[in-house]
Structure 1
Amino acid sequence: MELWIAFTIFAAAAQTLRFALQKALGATGLSPGGATFARFLFAAPLATGAAFVLYRQTGVALPFPDLPFFGFVLVGGVAQIIATELTVRLMGLRSFATGIAFTKTEVLQVAVASALILGETVSGPAALSMAIGFAGLVCLSFPAGRTAAFEGRPVAFGLAAGGLFAVAAICYRGATLSLEPAPFLLRALLALAAATVMQSVIMAVWLVLREPGEIRRVLQGWRRTGPVGITGLLGSLGWFAAFSLQNAAYVRALGQVEVIFTLLFSTFYFREKLGLRELTGVLLVSLCVIFLVLEGV
């Protein structure tokens, strides 16, 4: 199995757990902004420390981060902040599994953005696989027993979150590529550290101005908010490592396996029931994932 595939599957599993933990934060009284802040606050020092340790261990000459690197990190970081908060709000409107499914329009959006921004296109068979996976996601977006699944507010949140996650994915790949020829894992950690530090600062300023007292609640609830940051760090490390090795469109297409993990989590942890449409969606997404793994693109 190619490394980017292993990192992507690991990232999808970690992100599923993080979203579940983040959803549970709603019961603690934290706002969506507070839950989003927790995602970055605890990850920033860990990512920075890991990058420093790996740099000392490898002893390689570190390329100096240039303006494009910081530009990619800033745009990607802000896009991820907004997308994460939209996802938290979306999960409050719909079931856990369906809320995540709406954001997965990112799979098609990232393929288009990757071609436009980085000039990286996908093969015909891979594009067909992505389309099959997207069809599965459309099936998953219909809750059982309802015919009018595409309501304005959830769809708007989902499409916006998907588009912003796509922008973040492209920018993070651009950031890791700008640090070549450093080892891929060091590039991933440096980009991750820069992004999470920047995101923590931005979110802290926002919360101080708009939601006074929310930072204190995040820190006081560290037993619940800390695991969100740690699982977020693990997931992000997987994504960044995969982005440093492969076209972001392929990474995000394979990352659809997260939907399967989410459905399993929804069924066995949140006790949400799955209908025929959900099972059909799982089958289609699984076909997409299997194709990409076998091809290795």
Structure 2
Amino acid sequence: METWVLITVAAAFLQNVRSAMQKHLKGRMGTTGATFVRFGFGVPFALLYMALLAVVLARPMPVPDARFFAWAVVGGIAQIAATFLLVHLFSFRNFAVGTAYSRTEPAQAALFALVFLGEKASAGTLVAIAISVAGVMVISVARSVVSVRSLFLSVFTRTAGIGLLSGTCFGISAVAYRSASLALAPSLPAPDYMIQASYTLVFVIVLQTLLMLGWLVMRERGELARIASAWRPALLVGFVGATASFGWFMAMTLQQAAVVKALAQVEMLFTFASAVLVFKERVNRLEIAGCTLIVIGVLALLMT
């Protein structure tokens, strides 16, 4: 099995763990604080990973150029915007529709990669992406009053628009991160996906931390005290989050962002499994159908 596949599955599992931890933290702080923890407390671990590569393993460090900084800044800001839009969806009663549309990220990433990078995907890959995206969308509405038919008819509603925009920002960030990481390769003696991914992660996560810290100081200063009081679980969230992000960045350095994000839909299977096995929740037919589509899409992706 290829390296990027193993890294992506591991990163998807860790992201599922991180999301569960962040939901726990939301009981102790607001949405912005719980979002900041993902970045701010991940900085030490991102720096540690890069130090291990550069100092312990003596990997040569890249020399960033203007192209790297441009793509990294675009990716970092797009990811923050995507996260805020996704969180904003939960303030709507029919948020399931918007959440489902936000899951179109892999398909949108494929489009942006074609437009901005000229990366083409095979017909088989596009079909696999479409199948996995459909599966995730079905699961997203499986426990709401929304039907699969009404989901596709609601494309012009406000929640669908916010969801699509969230997916757009996630897709842009994925393509931007891959572009930033690849931009470092010419400055190295030989391409090194680990150091390229690590360097990109450090720059992006520090940028995101500073931007969000500035927002908290100016607009939500009370969150800082709540974050500080929960530093121990927050540190664990930072560790898992940074490790997952390192995995994403490595995978997207090795493979097209759209393909990585399509395989990353297995995160929904992990979420589904934990809901059934740990929380003993019942499943319905739509959820089973959605999981089946994801599995089919992932298998088709690996075969192509």
Output the TM-score relative to the length of structure 2. Answer: 0.89
Q: CA deviation at 1:143?
A: 3.1
Partner SS for 1:62: coil
Give, as a single letter, the amino acid of the residue that structure 2 aligns with 1:264: A
1:68-92 CA distances to partner (integer Å, 9 max, x unpaired)?
A: 1111111111111122233344457
Give, as a single letter, the amino acid of the residue that structure 2 aligns with 1:16: N
Q: CA deviation at 1:225?
A: 2.0
Give structure 2 stretches of 5+ with no counterpart.
none
Q: Distance in 1 between matches of 2:160 and 2:281?
A: 21
Q: How does 1:282-297 map to 2 (within 5 A)?
A: 282-295=291-304
After superposition, the Cα gap between the structure-2 partners of 1:68 and 1:191, relative to the gap in structure 1 and judged at 3 Å, is same
Q: Distance in 1 between matches of 2:296 and 2:142?
A: 21
Who is 2:66 aligned against? Answer: 67
Q: Distance in 2 between matches of 1:98 and 1:21?
A: 24
Who is 2:233 aligned against? Answer: 224
Who is 1:172 aligned against? Answer: 177
- Please tell me whether residue 49 in structure 1 is matched to residue 48 in structure 2: yes
Who is 1:80 aligned against? Answer: 79
Who is 1:116 aligned against? Answer: 115
Who is 1:15 aligned against? Answer: 15
1:141-185 CA distances to partner (integer Å, 9 max, x unpaired)?
A: 323361367574543443222111111100110011011144111
- Please tell me whether residue 40 in structure 1 is matched to residue 45 in structure 2: no
Q: How does 1:204-283 map to 2 (within 5 A)?
A: 204-283=213-292
Who is 1:184 aligned against? Answer: 193
After superposition, the Cα gap between the structure-2 partners of 1:26 and 1:96, relative to the gap in structure 1 and judged at 3 Å, is farther
**Percent of aligned pairs with the same residue?**
37
Who is 1:31 aligned against? Answer: 30
After superposition, the Cα gap between the structure-2 partners of 1:293 and 1:96, relative to the gap in structure 1 and judged at 3 Å, is farther
After superposition, the Cα gap between the structure-2 partners of 1:265 and 1:156, relative to the gap in structure 1 and judged at 3 Å, is farther
- When the two chains are superposed, the root-mean-square deviation of aligned CA atoms in Å is 2.3
Q: CA deviation at 1:274?
A: 2.4
Number of corresponding residues? 294
Q: Distance in 1 between matches of 2:91 and 2:281?
A: 14
Q: How does 1:94-113 map to 2 (within 5 A)?
A: 101-113=100-112
1:207-248 CA distances to partner (integer Å, 9 max, x unpaired)?
A: 111101212211211123222212111110110000110111
Give structure 1 stretches of 5+ with no counterpart.
none
Contact 1:102 1:137 in 2 (8 A): no
Q: Distance in 2 between matches of 1:108 and 1:210?
A: 35
